[in-house]
Amino acid sequence: MAKKKTKFVCQECGYQSPKYMGKCPGCSSWNTMVEEIEETISSRRLTFATGAQTEFSQPRPITQVETKLESRIETRFQEFNRVLGGGIVGGSLVLIGGDPGIGKSTLLLQVSSQLANSSYSVLYISGEESPKQIRLRADRLDVSSDQLLVLSETDLQRISRYIEELNPAFVVIDSIQTIHLPEVTSAPGSVAQVRECTAELMRLAKTKGIPIFIVGHVTKEGAIAGPRLLEHMVDAVLYFEGERHHTYRILRAVKNRFGSTNEMGIFEMKELGLQEVLNPSEIFLEERPVGVAGSTVVASMEGTRPVLVEIQALISPTSFGNPRRMATGIDHNRVSLIMAVLEKRAGMLLQNQDAYLKVAGGLKLDEPAIDLAVALSIASSFRDKSSAPTDVVIGEVGLTGEVRRVSRIEQRVQEAAKLGFKRAIIPNKNLGGWSTPEGIEVVGVSNIGEALRYTLGG
């Protein structure tokens, strides 16, 4: 009998080696190489491959490809629809990742209930819970519908057969790390299993036009477990973020073939499940202190939505030779850069000061338009002088101290006016070409010195 060939596959990046190695050459991870049996392509795989190509196998000019505008299927969660780009696209494969206990299964069970109550048949497949456990969670969330079918199964061959027979409108897989194909000899959750199971689910989604949602476990670094190939294969990757000790959850798209990748949906975890937050700016500003130095409000864009958040800074003399630079929600390299600009262009001696910055509410901001707000927060704390509580600050800061224009300034200022702010400090280049909302004064600044004079008096 012929000897079976084996190979060693890294469980983090998918790197393959004919022999065992303690350190993976691909991703430099230690003790991640697992032995797997190398197999030839089965006849079943060839049948699936040839069957899936019947619709797309003939090359033809792109001008002759038939297109039709398919309406998206909307859930009752407007925040969920926003992150997906306007609703669920037929035949899409969506991956949802997040920390344990953050609410991934709760979100998908609530979405499944909403779709089932809208006369869509939904098949909820769990490899981690029994039907009784799912029912207990459904009773707690007030989920009840005859159109919602539950199944506890980990064998993908049986799952595929049930999907072929029932032909549901939606499918939920919780989670991909528990599903396995008997043909693949490696353990569930390994690189080979995740790759083959995702490929089979993608075939089902594309050939039958069924939207499939997949739950993916995450590693301690916060990335979805398994190779990056998993994220490349799916149509959309959503991350469910938030602190387990806080009630607010953020659903963020990091990949979306059918919409923007900058959209963000905010939910609040309550006793009866997740509830969407339609106006997050009020939530992030409700506990803002008034008249305290080091606090500045900025209008940041999250996809197509402006969100007003508070940036807090604490500057204090250092007790060590090297001052500390710590930031939560902002890149600490950006903080060091802005402090260097303040020291050079505004004459502030910050080289012997510790700096601690955070974005209130747990948001992560990475757009350049927050630079001016960060600079004013640092200057306010350093001088121990507070800015006006009704000021909102928007602008990018260059290395020469200039304040550069930002995009979508009209939407940012309108959101600030709606929340009762009286003055907006914006780049001088953004003045003109749009109408100023009533009740708010718009002040243009060309450099960081002017911004300091308007907000802190010098």
Annotated binding site for ATP: 98-105
Residue 293: strand, helix, or coil: coil
Binding site: what residues are annotated? 98-105
Q: What type of residue is 28?
A: S
Find out whether 216 and 175 touch, Cβ atoms under 8 Å: yes
CA-wise closest residue to 138 among 95, 105, 98: 105
Residue 199: count of CB within 10 angstroms of its CB: 16
CA-wise closest residue to 160 among 269, 61, 44: 44
Report the distance separating Cα 40 and Cα 45, nearest Å.
10
Query: What secondary structure does DSSP assign to 72-120, as a single string?
Result: PBP-S-HHHHHHHTSSBPTT-EEEEEE-TTSSHHHHHHHHHHHHHHTT-
Report the distance separating Cα 454 and Cα 89, nearest Å.
48
- Pair of tokens at residue 332: 């600490």
Query: What secondary structure does DSSP assign to 404-429, as a single string?
Result: EP-S-HHHHHHHHHHTT--EEEEEGG
Residue 245: strand, helix, or coil: coil
Report the distance separating Cα 41 and Cα 312, nearest Å.
57
